[in-house]
Chain A
């Protein structure tokens, strides 16, 4: 029992350290919202969609639980376009009022639930995204084993305009580090290979400056 309490305390402390830069998140409240959303998830799953939603059977979601959450930050295109080489990469991170929970069955990641803060309240807004959830989980497990950092200290950084997803953590020196989830020949990113965030943003800069944020 004491081991369980100690393990929960370690996860909680690591997660709170990870989101300290944006102020502590109300983790208990968010987790309660995500846990309640498992019932909604069950109602969204059908015979037709359980596979693409990440489950091995339609009823599997009834046995689902939540894994270690991951805070999500966004890099806005307009901010990236103004980034100058050598600048603090942390200045590009915005958001942070978004948390994704892996949805587990038998300890394995099947899918995810994302909660965001809307008008001061937390709401579950997204259900599914199994491939992204599995990619983040596998990349986090591999990185955590290599760095020795707690999985709860990791977070996600997205660059929506360029369709890029990174697992993020801070080095012992506090440097923001990004790990691409997918290979990307355009930028020379290799899945799972961690790069300092300033190098990533400098690599993206020429494309970002040419990019017009319009869907066509």
Chain B
């Protein structure tokens, strides 16, 4: 699971900006093509999207 924080269009290509929380307390930041985000056969496939996520706890 990863966090998609935005996207960028370059020409006809779309790139998804990813905030990967792994490893804990370190994480990583990268862009992937929309095609790779959607599916890479034998590796991963697009599953569920969760959006409008807000923190509702205390300070």
Secondary structure dominating the interface of A: mixed
On whether A215 and B28 interact (CB within 8 A), knowing A116-B36, A123-B33, A163-B22, the answer reads no
Q: How far is the CA of A126 from the CA of B36 in the complex (A)?
A: 8
Q: Closest A residue to B8 by CB, please name it.
A: A44
Q: Is B28 a contact partner of A130 (Cβ separation < 8 A)?
A: yes
B48 within 8 A of A: yes
Bound together, the chains give a CA A132 to CA B30 distance in angstroms of 11
- Check A215–B47 contact: CB distance below 8 A: yes
A interface bracket (residues with beta carbon within 8 Å of B): 20 to 34
Q: What does the 1/0 interface line of B17-30 toward A look like (CB < 8 Å)?
A: 11010110011111
- In the complex, the chain A residue whose C-beta lies closest to that of B47 is A215
Given the complex, which residues of B lie within 8 Å of A124, measured CB to CB?
Answer: 33
- Please give, as numbers and ranges, the residues of chain A lying within 8 Å of B10 by CB-CB distance: 40, 43-44
Please indicate which of the listed interface residues B26, B29, B48 has the most CB atoms of chain A within 10 Å of its own CB: B29
Specify the main secondary structure of chain B where it touches its partner: strand
Q: Is the pair A131, B28 in contact by a Cβ cutoff of 8 Å? A: yes
Q: Is A53 an interface residue (CB 8 A)?
A: yes
Choose one: B26, B29, B44; the contact of A53 (CB below 8 Å).
B29
Contacts A52-B29, A125-B36 aside, 15 further interface pairs with beta carbons under 8 A come to A43-B8, A49-B29, A53-B29, A74-B43, A76-B42, A123-B33, A126-B31, A126-B32, A126-B33, A130-B29, A131-B23, A131-B28, A132-B28, A160-B44, A182-B23
